[in-house]
Structure 1
Amino acid sequence: MNEPHLIQFLLNIAGAAALLIWAVRLVRTGVERGFANQLRTWLRHSANNRLLAAGSGLGAAVFLQSSTAVAVLTSNFVAKGALTAATGLVILLGADVGSALVTQLLLVRQSFFIPLLLLLGVSLFLRSSNDTLRQVGRILTGLALIFVSLDMIRAATGPMVANPGTLAVMEYLGRDMLTAFVIGAGFAWLVHSSVAAVLLFVTLAGQGILPPTAAAAMILGANLGGAFIAYVLTLSAPVVSRKMIVANLVLRGGGALIAALLVSVKPELLTYLGAEPARQAINLHLVFNVAVAAVALPFTVSVTRIIARVLTDKSAATLTLDAGSALDPAALERPRRGLDCAARELLDMGQRIEKMLIAVEPLYDTWNSVGAQAIEDQDRTIKKMHLEIKLYLAKLGQKGLNEELSRRSMDLASISTSLDAASDAITRTMLELTQRMHAQGVNFSPKGREEIGDFLDRVSGNVQLALNVMMNQNPAEARELVAAKEKVRRVEQKLQRHHLERLREGLVESIETSNIHQETLRALKQINTSFSMVGYPILAKSGDLLKSRLT
């Protein structure tokens, strides 16, 4: 293979791999934007049954095209106390199987798939006014591009089959399975997608580029790399939610090492998984994850307890460390930098309010004076931060700001006021309501409590989106955030109607908690509205906002 051909080959492979990675991400983005709330509710309601929890994890991974996304989503529930670590681990084991199942489905080749998916996907995305249908279009387009990228890889790797140098390298990987395993793990980590990594390795094996043993080692390595992604993404999460992530890393990563060692000792075992190298590789991926799930499911409680002994909660040691304010007085002489400091302080403010929202929900079930006091203390901190931000912005204004910076200063002040209102809704409304429930000795009806929990999950998801928008200033996500405001309003109205229907039926629990239920829904809607204000300045700047609504 001469140099010009080599450069062309590398470009073709790199372009095809890049398209594959992006297409997988495109599908996941469509599912997250169009169906995140349904997935959150689905996972949350699966806590009572182990098989249902594993099935929910499997289904969520199939839709999201990623077990990592399911891991991060589930860790949030565990951190809030909505799921136990053992149940979270069950969901992750199911998600690993779902991720393996996705690769099986994506390797199905039908000539009419690509044009049909592109036609439907692009038409829905460009022509539909309904956001959910637009996301369905995004998903279908992403699936079509996955198939396109796999065909590109097959076309690009065709000349490699007859190249002696390439075959020598690949044959070496077939003999040195440790190197192949490390490459597989590293590539999965690099692209942040075990699905994309496995699809690439299986395609290379199907083209005769990778020997069966090398493909097996790289796929098993991709399982370790995939589990490690979630571990790194949740390093800053509470220890209680990290237990299941670490347990899954130990089970999946340790199992992958054992399986790779077994294949290196007895490579003939691969022949039981299929007649062709590609089929052996893809079946190994599925069989491995099913085996890990089947072996580990009965022992999830014991495994998480063992992991809990290893993991230590260092938060107590860090509670006394004051990170200090981002409002740097030295930046007052440089207005643009000063505004950046104010934006950082607002992000910290929003993250504190998110923790308050997480902490207040359990108080509806069981009163905890320590938790209530922590919320009140955080509210006082929020009040102090709000005042300091206003004063800081006022000092910046004294230096004289041009029109652009003046507008940004007003936007930041408005967001600060909105976040302060969200803190008030949690402390002055929701916390007082939980205290009233405790004093009166009343509880929501089972259906009413379920609705409150689901609605709070929806609002929490929008709060997280708002914090992301504050960091990345992405107009597309800002548009999604503002559009979610109307969705929340419709859901709140629907839940209010459901509550009135229960009152008509004469349910005692609903009658006793009627005002508390309705005021909680209104408070959550107010919190959502407050955080949605983050998106308006971005959309006004991008031209996506009319005077009163989205374009």
Structure 2
Amino acid sequence: MAQSSGLFLILHVAGAVALLLWAVRLIRTGVERAFARQLRGWLRGSARSRFLAAATGAMSAIALQSSTAVALLISGFVGAGSVGAATGIAIMLGADLGSAVVASVLLSGADLLVPALLLFGVVLFLRGPTARVRQIGRILIGLALVFVSLDLIRDATAPLGESTGVTAVLTALTSDLPLAFILGAAVAWAMHSSVAAILFYVTLAAQGVLPPAAAMAMILGANAGGALIAVVLTLAAPPEVRRVTTANLVMRASAAAFATFLLSRLEGPLPGAGAQITAQLIGVHIGFNVALALLFLPLIGPAERLATLLHPLAPAGGRATGPRTALDNAALDRPEQALALARREVLRIGETVEAMLRTARDLFQNWDETAAANLQANEAFVAERHHDVKLFLASLSRRCKDEPVEQAAQDLARIAVDFETASDAISGNLRVIANRLHAEGLRFSDAGQAELSDFHNRVLVNAQLALDVLMTGDPDTAHGLMAKKDAMRGLENELQHSHLARLRDGRPESLETSAIHQETLRSLKLVNTSFSMVAYPLLHQAGRLLTSRLT
């Protein structure tokens, strides 16, 4: 009977923790699908100062409920050259603080809100007029389920406080805080969520199951374990990306280990119970992350140099000593993992092409030889990555004859082809046109320049939306992307007519630049179409595509 009771207890706790992990993921998915474009814009625009970068990282982590999610977002920007490593490190310091704030909010005792959150969340998710409203409903449902899961954990662990055997084992952790630190890091790694792990530890401590000192050590361990998650997930990334996650791990793990050492020097048990110990533990968690940010923000330069020693760039004309791609042939026998790696690599290609589009826009304003050379280098990089993705997905299709896997592989391969097409149009056409304008001293008419700049900016926005679609897989967002593609086709026709009207008026600037004006429009339209093709597989699966435009 006791054995049956023990098994039931384990299942109860495991189920409650599983619900907690799912609820946190539900919130993060909703935020990614509703606000991914805004988050990406904030992160890209945070390079002006380290403190701004840290603040942006904190807000992003609060929104995504995860510093790891911020790390994966920022890794794409660093890999594409949109954000420097130093800025990335500052963003990660802020993201860790933001995840600490998230834990505090989720433990604030908002149980009375659960029925309201569930009611409004389900209504918005099922009846919301737009995709964003429906995702807000998803977020509200996730918040309600977090509170429900914490209640389940409290109920499940209440009997543990009366078990002398369990109490003796957990109390022993107080006399071995390094072991508690390691256990806290391991559980956070296993959960793949430091927020969920910390919520679990604090709940156990509030129930009187986990001694306060051991809970503090485990929370510090979770801070280190959370940083380790990002390092492992970016093992196949370029050296520039791994510098960010490695520097963050070194700073957090060393500071957390030192704090655990100081904690072990304290004499006597820590006071408090219930809500009081909850406030103490959350205060320690937030205080640790505030101190970490204040201590290391001025030291980002040395931290970056240390990370550079650990992850050097490849010598000129050579290749990096570490992996340069997310693709791993060892994963080909695990189709789901292989597709996830391929998707990460295709997303990285798309991020690079988007960065190229930004550079091309700037070249039309101010020609820069170094930036132009970087465009050509990025074009070669995209071609190389596309070749590797194509071979990887072909190998996956040969090994796995499952139709959904083969279809997903074909879809990713087509998207990679489209991204390379956009890369060729940017470097082979737009760069050449910008160089011709500079070399021959030509300029578009004021009206023509304004039209092209606006069109370029619209293409850039659509490229960002396409990357959001690739990352989230949301059919509603994909539908919006295709609607923008149709709108751009109509706009391109209007701009061609406007240009012809200026030619009829005999404007000198329009006569001089007529050919390159039209070629610029055609190239930008090609880039827009290439990015928009990301939406086709999702819309096809959702049954939202017509078989033909013919009437």
TM-score, L = length of structure 2: 0.77
Opposite residue 119 of structure 1, the aligned amino acid is L
CA contact under 8 A between 1:13 and 1:157: conserved in structure 2?
yes
Q: Residue 522 of structure 1: which of 516, 522, 525 is its match?
A: 525
Q: Residue 482 of structure 1: which of 465, 478, 485 is its match?
A: 478
SS of aligned partner of 2:534 = helix
Q: Which runs of 5 or more structure 2 residues have no equivalent in the other structure?
A: 328-337, 496-508
- 1:353-368 aligned within 5 A: 355-359=352-356, 361-362=358-359, 364-365=362-363, 366-368=368-370
Residue 110 (1) aligns with residue 110 (2)? yes
- 1:100-139 aligned within 5 A: 100-139=100-139
Return the offset for 1:252. 0.9
Q: Which runs of 5 or more structure 1 residues have no equivalent in the other structure?
A: 327-340, 469-475, 500-507
Q: Residue 535 of structure 2: which of 527, 532, 535 is its match?
A: 532
- 1:183-262 aligned within 5 A: 183-262=183-262
- Decide whether aligned partners of structure 1 residues 309 and 351 sit closer, same or farther in structure 2, where only a CA change above 3 A counts: closer
SS of aligned partner of 2:473 = helix
Return the offset for 1:374. 3.6
- Decide whether aligned partners of structure 1 residues 408 and 285 sit closer, same or farther in structure 2, where only a CA change above 3 A counts: closer
Opposite residue 204 of structure 2, the aligned amino acid is L
CA contact under 8 A between 1:425 and 1:526: conserved in structure 2?
no
CA contact under 8 A between 2:54 and 2:92: conserved in structure 1?
yes
Report percent identity of matched pairs: 39
Return the offset for 1:193. 0.6
Return the offset for 1:523. 4.2
Return the offset for 1:83. 2.2
Q: Report the Cα distance in structure 1 between the residues aligned to 2:339 and 2:152, rounded to whole angstroms.
A: 47
- Decide whether aligned partners of structure 1 residues 535 and 163 sit closer, same or farther in structure 2, where only a CA change above 3 A counts: same
CA contact under 8 A between 2:80 and 2:348: conserved in structure 1?
no
Q: Report the Cα distance in structure 2 between the residues aligned to 1:406 and 1:303, rounded to whole angstroms.
A: 44
| Residue in structure 2 matched with residue 303 of structure 1 by the alignment | 303
- Decide whether aligned partners of structure 1 residues 10 and 421 sit closer, same or farther in structure 2, where only a CA change above 3 A counts: same
RMSD, aligned CA: 4.8
Return the offset for 1:42. 1.2
- Cα shift readout 1:6-41 (whole Å, capped 9, x = no counterpart): 011001000000000110011001111110000011
Return the offset for 1:530. 2.6
Q: Report the Cα distance in structure 2 between the residues aligned to 1:317 and 1:107, rounded to whole angstroms.
A: 51
| Residue in structure 1 matched with residue 79 of structure 2 by the alignment | 79
| Residue in structure 2 matched with residue 471 of structure 1 by the alignment | none
Return the offset for 1:527. 2.3
Return the offset for 1:55. 1.4
Residue 182 (1) aligns with residue 182 (2)? yes
Residue 462 (1) aligns with residue 462 (2)? no
CA contact under 8 A between 2:191 and 2:197: conserved in structure 1?
yes
SS of aligned partner of 1:112 = helix
SS of aligned partner of 1:109 = coil
Q: Report the Cα distance in structure 1 between the residues aligned to 2:323 and 2:279, rounded to whole angstroms.
A: 56
Opposite residue 538 of structure 1, the aligned amino acid is Q
- Decide whether aligned partners of structure 1 residues 172 and 455 sit closer, same or farther in structure 2, where only a CA change above 3 A counts: farther
Q: Report the Cα distance in structure 2 between the residues aligned to 1:162 and 1:434, rounded to whole angstroms.
A: 75
Q: Report the Cα distance in structure 2 between the residues aligned to 1:436 and 1:273, rounded to whole angstroms.
A: 73
- Per mean C-alpha deviation after superposition, the further-off stretch among 517-526 and 409-418 is 409-418
Q: Report the Cα distance in structure 1 between the residues aligned to 2:339 and 2:210, rounded to whole angstroms.
A: 53
CA contact under 8 A between 2:33 and 2:468: conserved in structure 1?
no
Opposite residue 52 of structure 1, the aligned amino acid is L
SS of aligned partner of 1:312 = coil
Q: Report the Cα distance in structure 2 between the residues aligned to 1:76 and 1:495, rounded to whole angstroms.
A: 31
Q: Report the Cα distance in structure 1 between the residues aligned to 2:454 and 2:265, rounded to whole angstroms.
A: 52
Return the offset for 1:421. 4.3
- Decide whether aligned partners of structure 1 residues 72 and 520 sit closer, same or farther in structure 2, where only a CA change above 3 A counts: farther
Q: Report the Cα distance in structure 2 between the residues aligned to 1:211 and 1:204, rounded to whole angstroms.
A: 9
Opposite residue 531 of structure 2, the aligned amino acid is N
SS of aligned partner of 2:219 = helix
- Decide whether aligned partners of structure 1 residues 112 and 477 sit closer, same or farther in structure 2, where only a CA change above 3 A counts: same
CA contact under 8 A between 1:157 and 1:204: conserved in structure 2?
yes
| Residue in structure 1 matched with residue 286 of structure 2 by the alignment | 286
CA contact under 8 A between 2:386 and 2:417: conserved in structure 1?
no
Q: Give the number of aligned pairs.
A: 505
- Decide whether aligned partners of structure 1 residues 252 and 436 sit closer, same or farther in structure 2, where only a CA change above 3 A counts: farther
Q: Report the Cα distance in structure 2 between the residues aligned to 1:43 and 1:490, rounded to whole angstroms.
A: 29
Q: Report the Cα distance in structure 2 between the residues aligned to 1:108 and 1:428, rounded to whole angstroms.
A: 56
CA contact under 8 A between 1:41 and 1:457: conserved in structure 2?
no
Q: Report the Cα distance in structure 2 between the residues aligned to 1:408 and 1:193, rounded to whole angstroms.
A: 28
Q: Report the Cα distance in structure 2 between the residues aligned to 1:278 and 1:455, rounded to whole angstroms.
A: 49
SS of aligned partner of 1:258 = helix
